[in-house]
Amino acid sequence: MLKLIWIIISLILIGLIFVRTPQNQGIGSFSTKNNLLGSPSSAEQFLNNLTILLIISYFGFALILNFSN
């Protein structure tokens, strides 16, 4: 059961990483970006928090599965 949860988390993480577009599109975006030091939108902040939570849980399950064998 833990291994299935670990696999699902890894697939969700892979999907999130591929779906997310990069913030900057090269050096030219620095001149056009007006909120360089501002906070991200609420949706982007939610995706950042979700990604961090999934990464932490992924490593947690990896440690649990590694030490259970």
Model confidence, pTM: 0.68
Q: What is the pLDDT of residue 18?
A: 84
In a domain, 34, yes or no: no
Token pair, residue 59, equals: 């490593």
> Are the beta carbons of 20 and 47 closer than 8 angstroms?
yes
How does pLDDT run across 11-45, given as a tens digit for each residue? 999 998 888 766 655 555 555 555 544 556 888 88
Burial class of residue 15 (count of CB atoms within 10 Å of its CB; 0-12, 13-18, 19+) = exposed
For the cut 80, the answer to whether the pLDDT of residue 50 exceeds it is yes
In a domain, 26, yes or no: no
State whether the Cα torsion 25-29-32-36 is positive or negative. positive
In a domain, 58, yes or no: yes
68 is in which domain, residue-wise?
A: 1-18+40-69
* Domain count for the chain: 1
In a domain, 2, yes or no: yes
> Are the beta carbons of 48 and 40 closer than 8 angstroms?
yes
